[in-house]
Amino acid sequence: MVGNPEIEAQVGGVGVVESHERAAAPRALYVHVPFCSRRCLYCDFAVQATRVAPTGEWLDAVETEMRLLAAERGWSEPLALDTLYVGGGTPSLLGPGAMAELAERLRPYATWDPAAVEWTCEANPETFSPELAADWRAAGVNRISLGAQTFHAPALRWMGRLHGPEGPARAMLAARAAGFDNVSVDLIFGFPERLERDWATDLERALELEPEHVSLYGLTAEAGAPLGRWVREGRETLADEDRYADEYLLAHERLTAAGFVHYEVSNFGLPGRASRHNSVYWTGAPYAALGPGAHALYTPLRRWNLRGWSAYRDALLEGRLPVEDEERVDADEAALERVWLGLRTSAGYPLADATGAQRALAAEWARQGRARVRDGVLHLTAEGWLLLDRLAVELASAGDAG
């Protein structure tokens, strides 16, 4: 990742910009909502379970953080945003009026053209009502990311999801009635075999919703999640590698046959419907972030916020940015990230400046069916994407070897 140089003094763990040469101002903003009605079994995100979200306090905190961040980063003009993403947690738990108020609170520090910006909000089916859908659309939200995860009732109960198998269809009807023509559906694969979830049926049910985008997430046992503890204690067993791979490849087959472009390792979009916000992450461009646990990149500085809602809020009440830590991306790490980011998308990794060892490795992957080389660019196949992390390290190491 390459950006303009910055010289920063470390004050209480927060970088204070001293140089007149500043990194390019981000054109993407992520805002985290840390509230959920219930923490799901697999969840290790920065969330807090609550029956009623403290929407007013959250808006106050986010506004304060944006004001302090703009001052600290030296943004004398409001950020000109191309994308705005409100994720969670459960943004739909904030209720009507929250997105319009968020836009108003951000207005002194960030501007966007409603006709050109991609404004995504995440929603869970049980809290996404026709009233909320209409409210969000009137506020300027134009893309929904719907957390369906599965249509299998036993798996939904096992995960702790609060919507039933028909919840996603009701939510999609609400979105369409409100005028949304860009809806993404999240699905999880790799469930324990004992649950007897039929992955092919889930893919069919998702396609019946006629979404513009589908995101896949392989189930993992994160150490900080209840599922991680269950797996450590031997109380649960996840899908084995073969079943995990088979389900991933089946999704690739079914979704591409339905007209979706598999444009990133975990994401499929109809032509022209790739996530513009997430593509910012995958190209290594800078992005700003607000909210508990939110991660930002102010090239070459990467930083992340305090995860707990109370700690985050209290820091802002004391007039300080809620930064937990930050790091500079050095040259070696940046080189590895360029390889990893290139390989994870359909854009691929250009071989124009590749070493002989890298070209030989690319040719070997092509023979194995893990990659293709077209017009001097290395593209991983779906089979290769299953090994993304390993292959990225191998290719970066081959670059060092010459």
pLDDT of the residue at 39: 81
Residue type, 54: P
In terms of domains, do 234 and 123 share one? Answer: yes
- Under DSSP, the state recorded for 130 is H
Beta bridge partners of 111: 80
- Strands 28-33 and 288-290 turn out to be parallel
Average the pLDDT over 384-389 and give the result: 96
Same domain, 271 and 335: no
- Extract the tokens encoding 345: 């998308």
pLDDT for residue 3 is more than 50: no
Q: How confident is the model at residue 18 (pLDDT cuts 50, 70, 90)?
A: very low
- DSSP structural state of residue 274: S
Tell me, yes or no, whether 209 and 348 share the same domain: no
Q: Which of 283, 302, 320 is the last residue of a domain?
A: 283
For residue 323, tell me if it sits in a domain.
no
- Check whether 167 has a pLDDT greater than 70: yes
For residues 330 and 277, the answer to whether their CB atoms sit within 8 Å is no
Cα(first)–Cα(last) distance of the chain, in Å? 21
pLDDT digits (tens, 9 = 90+) for 321-353: 999 999 998 888 888 899 999 999 999 999 998
* Vertex 392 angle, CA 389 and 398, to 5°: 140
Per-residue burial over 200-232, b = 16 or more CB atoms within 10 Å of its CB, e = otherwise: eebbebbbebebbbbbbeebbbeeebbbbebbe
Residue 13: pLDDT band with limits 50, 70, 90 = very low
Question: Measured between alpha carbons, how far is 149 from 366 in angstroms, rounded to an integer?
Answer: 33
pLDDT tens-place string over residues 224-242: 889 889 989 999 999 999 9
Are 129 and 276 found together in one domain? yes
309 domain-assigned: no
Cα–Cα distance measured from residue 127 to residue 37, given in angstroms and rounded to the nearest whole number: 9
Rounded distance between C-alpha atoms, residue 87 and residue 220, angstroms: 20
Tell me, yes or no, whether 42 and 187 share the same domain.
yes
